[in-house]
Amino acid sequence: MSSEKVLNFMGARLPATALSVIMLVVAIGALAMNGLKLGLDFTGGAQVEVSFSEPADIPEIRGILNNQGLTNPVAVLFGSDTEVLIRTQGAMSDGGEQALRSRLQPLGASLEAVNRAPRDSGTFTQELVFSGADRSALKAGDVLPERFFGSVEYNTSGDNVSALVENSLDTAYTAELLEVLEAETGSQVELRRSEYVGPQIGAELRDEGGLGMLVALAVVMLYVAARFQFKFSVGAVLALIHDVIIVVGFFALFRIDFDLTVLAAVLAVIGYSLNDTIVVYDRIRENFRRMRKGSPAEVINTSLTQTLERTCITSLTTLLVLIMLFVFGGELISGFAIALIVGVMVGTYSSIYVSANTLMWMHISKEDLMPPEKEGAEVDEMP
Amino acid sequence: MLNRYPLWKYLLIVVVAVLGFIYSIPNLYPPDDVIQISGSSSTLTIDESVLNRARESLDEAGIDYFAGEYSDTSALLRFNNGEDQLQGKKVVQEALGADYVVALNQAPTTPEWLMAIGGSPMKLGLDLRGGVHFLLEVDVDSAIAKRQETSAEEMKDALREARIRYLDFEVKGPVIHGLFRSEDLRDEAVSALRGDYRDMLFSTDTPATEGRFRFTATLSEAAQRQMEQDALAQNLTTLRKRVNELGVSEPIVQSQGRDRIIVQLPGVQDTAEAKRVIGKTANLEFRLEAEPNALGATTEEFEYRGYPAVLERKIILTGDHVTNANASLDPETSMPQVNITLDSLGGTKMNHATRSNIGRRMGVLFIEYKTRMNTEVDDNGEQVQVPEQYVERSVINLATVQGALGVQFRITGLDSPRAASELALMLRSGALAAPMYFVEERTIGPSLGAENIQLGIKSLQWGLGLVLLFMLVYYKVFGVFANIALAVNVLLLVSVMSLLGATLTLPGIAGIVLTVGMAVDANVLIFARIREELKLGASPQSAISSGYDRAYVSILDANITTLIVAVILYAIGSGPVKGFAVTLSIGILTSMFTAIMGTRALTNLVYGRRKNLKKLWI
């Protein structure tokens, strides 16, 4: 690349603007139609990751889960063909209740309530109240198998029998589910991890995530306005919004799980894209002050050409490590890597065609950038 | 023109790089899986014979271990892997019995000279080590309602004593409703009660219904907030004590927000057991020692320090009324003592019971609900572990009542400061201030943790390798400078994280990988600028100089904005996201140092003194 030759970036302003608009429309459309497939962190619910000794048959596992009384159970392969992630919208205890009912039915009994164990009940965690059967019938029917519930203590109160159980319904049911999967698939099953997030936590994280993004944008706008000029801060923030919408839209379009680590990645995209934009702006400011003649478009083109090498190489090295992270980092980190890969590409593009372009739309001029000269001038005039 | 650094700058860079190297070494020594044996009470000392019993049991079971050491309070046995450790724990616990606590732990293998200068490896997060994570919500509302119920009872007592007749009292959350037959009675009651309940707002605005006149007493916002804080603080203390009992190394028990508590137990796999211990109940009872001629039916015998202690069956009060207990030294005698604070109802009860019984002894009974595993042979002839619940009651203190006690009193005559702090801990742990609910629960298996580390390291190796290669090919000699700087940067990042005691998580590793990709940015900016200057016809020396100078502003601006985002990420994020934010921020700071000062020093060292430098390999 020769320093003489200036690439006419701004000549492609209109097509680029059109491209941005198309990408934004697709992203927003995907968000509106598909919605964001929020991960467990945000929706609340329960999930378990299990590994099978043999390649897992997902349709078969789905079939098993659908008979379990879980709320919208989902089973997907996670990383390899023996790892399966099972998720349910509600708590694991939903499945536990259904399993209990199916064992109670032959006895003509029913589950009345699930309470916390009273305070002075030692190591018991929950109290299950049954009606329609006495304790010996419940024991004989093996309604609360010890291998799931731990030790159980029955008490009769009026017509109801209450049972204090050592393991709560969700813990007991997780163990039961593994056994069911083992029995029906004929493969050995090992629990890799289990997670439960209460619905209120999910909602709070959603709010905090959104708030964090807004705060980040506001602080960036202030910083850029202070370091550069108001028009620059509008450009920077527009570029960031552009990037965030496209990355989030990408996740909606391809229905990739959006969880807490992806949110972190999106915020990191804000950091990266801003980094790019600032470097470009720095050059534009410098050139506006240095180049005596030349229209704004020429100044911007020169600046973009001068920073192009750096922009490309930094994007390249960053993409290199991100692709390695995507390839080798495992399933837990893949969403994070995808968000950043998309974000770095879009961020590189937006530092040219959104941030710099906005300056054109806002009619940036030399006067906007002249350093305040008052003090300097006064000093000069002094005898 | 020449590019030269003063000597002190070179020295500074060398010293920082060497320190970074030294303090990242501890991470090369993975900790050993150990079991830790300690006495279940402070009076038991650990000596050679205990260790030998443990060793014998392991030898018998054929479990490999490789080192044993002991101090006064605990002994350690090291194992080759986590499986041996788990089995070893079971075997040793069986051999030593319930007098000893056998806990899983990890012992650092950092060489002594490194430990001496403060070196330690990074802590691994749950996602890398395996373990359980709980988020508990403290139900403050029910604690407030409970307190208001107690207050309502007290108000009734007070009105009865003052001979003011009331119809009924109702408690709805933080609001007490008092119902009266006439307006006069109600107003009389309010003026009688108001002085004693300064933290409540009394109101008589509610219109009378069906001839019932009512006042409402609402616990003030400030008092509710105070209760919230106290409940959280007490639950934290209680949880810490309980978690310590689980024998987990480096457990985390900390508050999050106004009413939540995070509990993280690395290495633990059995959520059911962890949940039981966390949610378990222990209680305290204060009872008077029985008179020698008391009827057998009104007394109960316990053991206290090996001697029988006979207490009355009548309970003065239970542990719920203990709001605080601290160990301290008596300022006059310098003897250890425990200061106890009761709530107001507890104070009244204690006063009633003690003022006519000065000179008698009062016992503190600690009641714990425990589980032990019994090995039984089942129908199939296999050995199975059967849990059995039992209640353990023990007198933890017996002291003479020296005066009428009230809300605050102290127990003296304790053997040692350690015994005093243990008693205080037991008094405090009597009860949770407010019930808690599990709102989040995560378990990560140990194999998944180990796998995550491997995946992380593999992607770091590949990412770093490719970036190094690319920089070398693209920038030649200057690429070498940038690569040395990048390598030092990774060392610095690791050593700073080790020194800060930061926790490494999987997103944290991702942060390091990302830093590697982005850290070269500063060098790319500088080198691109130098190339530009050369093209514009500048001499190599002045191209180097102005390249560094001109790129500096851009680098600073770009990094500060990224740092702002990282700080916001830290502030709003939780758990793993925080880990990412920490590595990202530290990475930005260390990369500014290495990429600007480090490469400049190398450049100056190689090219700076050559007056007739004609060509730069860039």
Burial B93-130 (b: 16+ CB within 10 A, else e): bebbeeebbbbbbbbeebeeebeeeebbbbbbbbbbbb
Lowest-confidence pick of A79-93, A283-297, B386-400: B386-400
DSSP A122: T
- pLDDT for A54 beyond 50: yes
- State whether A268 and B462 contact (CB < 8 Å): no
How large is the average pLDDT for residues A360-373? 78
pLDDT score, position B312: 84
Distance CA A3, CA A352 (A): 19
Q: Locate the DSSP E strands across B245-349.
A: 252-256, 260-266, 282-288, 299-304, 307-312, 317-318, 322-329, 336-342
What pTM was estimated for this model as a whole? 0.76
- State whether A121 and B281 contact (CB < 8 Å): yes
How does pLDDT run across B234-256, given as a tens digit for each residue? Answer: 788 778 877 776 667 678 888 88
Q: Locate the DSSP E strands across A169-311.
A: 189-197
Distance CA B338, CA B325 (A): 7
Element (H, E) at B21: helix B7-24
- pLDDT for A379 beyond 50: no
The whole-angstrom distance between B613's CA and the closest CA on chain A is: 22
The whole-angstrom distance between B211's CA and the closest CA on chain A is: 38
- State whether A317 and B517 contact (CB < 8 Å): yes
Question: Is B467 at the interface with chain A, CB within 8 A?
Answer: yes
- Which is more confidently placed, A74 or B153? A74
Contacts of A211 in chain B (CB under 8 A): 572
pLDDT score, position A1: 39
pLDDT grade for B387, boundaries at 50, 70 and 90: low
Lowest-confidence pick of A81-90, B15-24, B320-329: B320-329
Question: Is B141 at the interface with chain A, CB within 8 A?
Answer: no
- pLDDT for B528 beyond 70: yes
Chain centroid, CA B322 distance in Å: 23
How large is the average pLDDT for residues A81-100? 84
- State whether B517 and A319 contact (CB < 8 Å): yes
Inter-residue contact B591 to B522 (CB < 8 Å): yes
Q: Which of A52, A217, A309, A321 should be substituted to probe chain B, the one whose Cβ sees the most B Cβ atoms within 10 Å? A: A321
pLDDT grade for A380, boundaries at 50, 70 and 90: very low
Give the type of residue at B421.
S
Count of A–B CB contacts within 8 Å? 246
Q: Helix axis angle, A296-328 relative to B506-535, nearest 10°?
A: 140
Interface of A with B in 307-346 (CB under 8 A): 307, 309-310, 313-314, 316-322, 324-325, 327-330, 332-333, 336-337, 340
Question: Is B442 at the interface with chain A, CB within 8 A?
Answer: yes
Structural domain boundaries in chain B: 7-26+445-607, 32-107, 141-223, 227-443
- Report the residue from A223, A322, A332 with minimal CB separation from B564: A223
Among residues B85, B48, B36, B82, which one has the least CA distance to residue B63? B85
Residue of B nearest to A341 (CA): B514
Contacts of B272 in chain A (CB under 8 A): 150, 166-167, 171
Distance CA A6, CA A259 (A): 43
- pLDDT for B425 beyond 90: no
Interface of B with A in 568-587 (CB under 8 A): 568-569, 571-577, 580-581, 584
Inter-residue contact A287 to A299 (CB < 8 Å): yes
ipTM exceeding 0.95, yes/no: no
Inter-residue contact A174 to B275 (CB < 8 Å): no
- Report the residue from B371, B516, B559 with minimal CB separation from A321: B516
Place of tokens 């006895």: A107
How large is the average pLDDT for residues B504-510? 87
Structure-token pair, residue B6: 């003063």
Contacts of B434 in chain A (CB under 8 A): none
Q: Which of B275, B514, B552, B574 should be substituted to probe chain A, the one whose Cβ sees the most A Cβ atoms within 10 Å? A: B514
pLDDT grade for A375, boundaries at 50, 70 and 90: very low
Specify the CATH superfamily of domain A10-38+199-370: Multidrug efflux transporter AcrB transmembrane domain (1.20.1640.10)
Mean pLDDT across chain B: 83
How large is the average pLDDT for residues B83-104? 78
- Which is more confidently placed, B292 or B275? B292
Interface of A with B in 52-111 (CB under 8 A): none
Inter-residue contact A212 to B581 (CB < 8 Å): no
Q: Which of B271, B285, B388, B572 should be substituted to probe chain A, the one whose Cβ sees the most A Cβ atoms within 10 Å? A: B572
The whole-angstrom distance between B147's CA and the closest CA on chain A is: 16
pLDDT score, position B349: 86
pLDDT score, position B431: 55
CA distances for B169 relative to B152, B176, B180, B213, angstroms: 7, 7, 9, 12
Q: What percent of chain B has pLDDT over 70?
A: 90
Lowest-confidence pick of A70-79, B150-159, B572-581: B572-581
Burial A9-45 (b: 16+ CB within 10 A, else e): bbeebeebbeebeebeeebeebbeeeebebbbbbbbb
- Which is more confidently placed, B382 or A184? A184
Strand order in the sheet with B336-342: B322-329, B336-342, B408-411
CA Rg, chain B, in Å?
33
| Identical fold, B7-26+445-607 and B227-443 | no
- State whether A313 and B451 contact (CB < 8 Å): no
What HEC string does A96-120 produce? HHHHHHHHHHHHCCEEEEEEECCCC
The DSSP annotation for B385-423 comes to: EEEEEEEEEEEEEEEE--S---SEEEE---S-HHHHHHH
- Which is more confidently placed, B86 or A51? A51
Structure-token pair, residue A328: 């080798």
- State whether B576 and A260 contact (CB < 8 Å): yes
Most confident of A113-117, B119-123, B470-474, B607-611: B470-474
How large is the average pLDDT for residues B98-122? 81
Question: Is B514 at the interface with chain A, CB within 8 A?
Answer: yes
- Report the residue from B137, B532, B568 with minimal CB separation from A216: B568
- State whether B524 and A314 contact (CB < 8 Å): yes
- pLDDT for A120 beyond 80: no
Most confident of A60-64, B303-307, B608-612: A60-64
CA distances for A369 relative to A228, A362, B423, angstroms: 8, 14, 71
pLDDT score, position A320: 94
- State whether A49 and B520 contact (CB < 8 Å): no
How does pLDDT run across B543-593, given as a tens digit for each residue? Answer: 999 999 999 988 988 888 888 888 888 887 766 678 888 898 999 999 999
Q: Architecture of B7-26+445-607 per CATH?
A: Up-down Bundle (1.20)
Question: Is B455 at the interface with chain A, CB within 8 A?
Answer: yes
Q: What percent of chain A has pLDDT over 70?
A: 94
Lowest-confidence pick of A21-35, A72-86, A115-129, B66-80: A115-129
Inter-residue contact B506 to A335 (CB < 8 Å): no
Interface of A with B in 20-59 (CB under 8 A): 49
Among residues B609, B599, B457, which one has the least CA distance to residue B17? B599
- State whether B569 and A264 contact (CB < 8 Å): yes
Task: Say yes or no: domain B141-223 is CATH 3.30.1950.
Answer: no
Can you list the alpha helix ranges (DSSP code H) found in B126-220?
126-129, 140-161, 183-194
Question: Is B525 at the interface with chain A, CB within 8 A?
Answer: yes
The whole-angstrom distance between B481's CA and the closest CA on chain A is: 16
pLDDT score, position A381: 43
Query: Could you tell me whether strands B503-504 and B123-124 are parallel, antiparallel, or unpaired per DSSP bridges?
Result: parallel
- Report the residue from B135, B370, B580 with minimal CB separation from A201: B135
How large is the average pLDDT for residues B17-33? 89
pLDDT score, position B389: 56
The fold adopted by the segment(s) B32-107 is Alpha-Beta Plaits (3.30.70)
- State whether B442 and A283 contact (CB < 8 Å): no
Candidates 3.40.50.2000, 3.30.1360.200, 3.30.379.10, 2.60.120.10; CATH matching B227-443? 3.30.1360.200
Interface of B with A in 89-128 (CB under 8 A): 127
